[in-house]
Every structure is written in structure tokens, then in C-alpha cells.
């Protein structure tokens, strides 16, 4: 059984990827400072508590576990917060990643799967967005991820350090068996916010803008089940371990869901319509963000296997169970 280090493995996508790694025969060792992740979500291997900016701590963990590769999810992700405190994002997301890469290189590890984002692209120029789409981030969060992508390209070009950059759109859903799910504090993501309305924890769901040039006037986003994303990371890891070259992959469905369709879908999942309030568009929101997954299909053999109803029903079961235990 090969060991892999999963930085940020106590977080949402990271913990689901640990589940997928374990099912694929790997031993995931989670390295997480638990600032956004949750100890309860580390279920498929040991937890090493630490900060990716702490070189000495990383060296000790690499020496103790001797991983063959790194999967890197540890990052600050709140777009609004990145605008208020850009330095914090560059320090953690960029500086921390460089510290992690250097620790991996000192340990003789030459493969890293990086959790990136469609936020590196900015406003869409063409749709669906493929890997060659221009990258012009609209905020420090997206820029911090792009800076890491550029650094990884140089590490490959000059030092032979190989990586797989995984740009995903909207991670959604939960483990169907209810072991882990989407848990953010504070919550800012659309599906959990809609479910909170169904649970009586919020009075209504706010739709920002109904005058976009889309099929129902509301913005379109590309929702991918978190376990489908996890499967893509496992495939990318296997490709690197087999000697594959550094590549970037866009992970989307290629279609997209409007906000109204999303709210209606949550209503179907919970068995009742949701109270909705309309509001003006938010500054910086693109009308449509949809990813082209042709390259991931061709080179990773990957495509999303779970539809929107599967996403929403798994999310509803997870959040309903959490509410029952007072979480």
C-alpha cells in the first residue's frame, strides 16, 4: 500500500479524496492545521496537525511517513475575504505551497496533485471553458491559485518536479453513506445555504440577479459531485506515479445549472419548495461558468457519473443528519 500525503485532507474536497484514495488502495496521511477542516472527517488514515508554512514540521512528517506523492488542498478559499486581506491569501496559498513543494523535494517526492479552481480564468471568453481559456483572475483568491499554477510550471520546466493541476468549478454533494459532507464555517456555498432554508435555519434563499442572458435569467454554474472530483484526483495521481507529464485539467460537466434550477432541485430533494428572495446582481458574478472536460475524459478516463439530483439528495441527507445531532 503506497502512502500519499494529503495537505488539507480534513477539508471538504480533501476528505472525500481521502475516501477515494483509500478505496483505490492508497494510504492517505492527512496534514491539516484544522483551521477550516474537521478532525471528524479524517477517517481513512492518520492525521498530522500542522501548517504548510512550517518547513520543519513538514520535514518531520515526510520523514515519518515517506509518501510517494502529495495531494494539495490546503488553501484559504473565501473570495470576499481575499479582497479584504489579500496578503493572508498570498502568504498561505502561495507561500505555503512553495514551502510544501520544497519539503517534498527534500524528501525525494516528485509528484504533486494540486487543487486549483476555475477562478483562475475570470470572466468567460468562450464556453464551455477549456484548458486553453485565457487566465485573468478577478480576485486575490483566483490570483493566488494562478500564481501557484505558474510556479508549478517552472518547477517542472527547470527542476523536473511534476504536477497535475485540477481546476474545478462547483464542488457539491456528499458521501452517499453519510460519513462526511460539506461543512464550512461560516457557510457561503449555495447548496448548503438552500438546505439551511429547508431545515428552518434561514428564512429564505437569496438569488442575486434574475436579468442575466440565460434560459431563466439567473446565473449558470457547473456543479460536480465531490466524489467525482475525488475520482479525478486519484486518476491524476496514478498518471503521475506511472511517469506521466505535468498537465492541467478542467473538471466540469460541460452543461451547467441555473440558480433557479438549483433551488427547484433542492426543493425536490427535501420535498417542499423553498422561500426565495430576489436581490440585485453581485459585483463580479459572471453570467455563466461551465467547464469543458474533454481533456480529462481523454487523458484521465474521467467523466462525472452523478447527476444534479444525486448531488442534491446526498447533500440533503448529510445536512439533515447533522441538524439531527445539533451540528
- Structural domains for the chain: 3-172+226-251 (3.40.50.720), 190-221+254-291+305-324 (3.90.25.10)
**Residues forming the active site:** 141
pLDDT at residue number 263 = 97
In the chain, % of residues over pLDDT 90: 90
DSSP 48: E
Q: Is 317 exposed, middle or buried (0-12, 13-18, 19+ CB in 10 A)?
A: middle
79-100 pLDDT, tens digit each = 888 889 999 999 999 999 999 9
Look up cell 484559504; give the residue. Answer: 76
Strands 162-168 and 220-221 come out as: unpaired
CA distance 208 to 195: 17
The average pLDDT across 288-294 equals 95
Distance CA 41, CA 290 (A): 29
φ/ψ of residue 51, rounded to 5: -105, 135
Give the Cβ contact number of residue 35 at 10 Å: 12
- Per-residue pLDDT tens for 254-284? 989 999 999 999 999 999 999 999 999 887 7
Per-residue pLDDT at 78: 83
Is the distance from CB of 236 to CB of 164 less than 8 angstroms? Answer: yes
Query: Are the C-beta atoms of 260 and 205 separated by less than 8 Å?
Result: no
pLDDT at 213 over 80: yes
Q: Retrieve residue 219's grid coordinates.
A: 446565473
Work out the burial of residue 78: count CB atoms within 10 Å of its CB; fewer than 13 is exposed, 13-18 middle, 19 or more buried.
middle
User: Nearest 5°: phi and psi at 274?
Assistant: -100, 145
CB atoms within 10 A of CB 109: 19
Say if residue 172's pLDDT is above 90.
yes
Residue 326: pLDDT above 80? no
Residue 318, φ and ψ in degrees, nearest 5: -65, -50
DSSP code of residue 39: G
Residue 186 half-sphere exposure toward CB, CA atoms < 13 A? 5
Query: Which pLDDT band holds residue 138 (cuts at 50, 70, 90)?
Result: confident
Would you list the DSSP string of 141-200? HHHHHHHHHHHHHHHHHHH--EEEEEEESEEE---TTSS-----SS---HHHHHHHHHTT
Q: 301 in the Ramachandran plot: left (φ > 0), alpha (ψ -120 to 50) or beta? A: left
The 10s digit of each residue's pLDDT in 43-78 is 999 999 999 999 999 999 999 999 999 999 999 988
Amino acid at each position: 500500500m503506497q502512502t500519499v500525503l494529503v495537505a488539507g485532507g480534513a477539508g471538504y474536497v480533501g476528505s472525500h479524496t481521502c475516501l477515494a484514495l483509500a478505496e483505490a488502495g492508497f494510504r492517505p496521511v492527512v496534514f491539516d492545521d484544522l483551521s477550516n477542516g474537521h478532525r471528524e472527517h479524517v477517517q481513512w488514515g492518520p492525521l498530522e496537525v500542522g501548517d504548510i508554512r512550517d518547513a520543519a514540521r513538514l520535514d518531520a512528517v515526510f520523514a515519518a511517513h515517506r509518501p510517494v506523492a502529495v495531494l494539495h488542498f490546503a488553501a484559504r478559499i473565501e473570495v470576499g475575504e481575499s479582497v479584504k486581506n489579500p496578503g493572508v491569501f498570498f502568504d498561505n496559498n502561495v507561500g505555503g505551497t512553495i514551502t510544501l513543494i520544497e519539503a517534498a523535494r527534500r524528501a525525494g517526492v516528485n509528484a504533486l496533485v494540486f487543487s486549483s479552481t476555475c477562478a483562475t480564468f475570470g470572466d468567460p471568453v468562450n464556453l464551455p471553458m477549456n484548458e486553453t481559456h485565457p487566465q485573468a483572475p478577478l480576485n486575490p483568491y483566483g490570483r493566488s491559485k494562478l500564481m501557484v499554477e505558474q510556479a508549478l510550471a517552472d518547477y517542472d520546466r527547470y527542476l523536473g518536479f511534476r504536477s497535475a493541476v485540477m481546476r474545478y468549478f462547483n464542488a457539491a454533494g456528499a458521501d452517499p453513506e453519510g460519513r462526511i459532507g460539506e461543512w464550512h464555517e461560516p457557510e457561503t456555498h449555495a447548496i448548503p445555504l438552500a438546505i439551511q432554508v429547508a431545515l428552518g435555519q434561514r428564512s429564505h434563499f437569496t438569488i442575486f440577479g434574475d436579468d442575466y442572458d440565460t434560459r431563466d435569467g439567473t446565473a449558470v454554474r457547473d456543479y460536480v459531485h465531490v466524489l467525482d472530483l475525488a475520482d479525478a484526483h486519484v486518476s491524476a495521481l496514478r498518471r503521475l506515479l506511472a511517469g506521466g507529464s505535468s498537465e492541467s485539467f478542467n473538471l466540469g460537466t460541460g452543461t451547467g445549472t441555473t440558480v433557479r434550477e438549483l433551488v427547484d432541485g433542492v426543493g425536490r430533494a427535501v420535498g417542499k419548495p423553498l422561500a426565495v428572495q430576489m436581490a440585485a446582481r453581485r459585483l463580479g458574478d459572471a453570467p455563466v461558468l461551465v467547464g469543458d472536460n474533454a481533456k480529462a475524459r481523454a487523458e484521465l478516463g474521467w467523466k462525472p457519473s452523478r447527476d444534479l439530483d444525486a448531488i442534491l439528495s446526498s447533500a440533503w441527507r448529510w445536512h439533515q443528519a447533522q441538524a439531527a445531532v445539533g451540528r
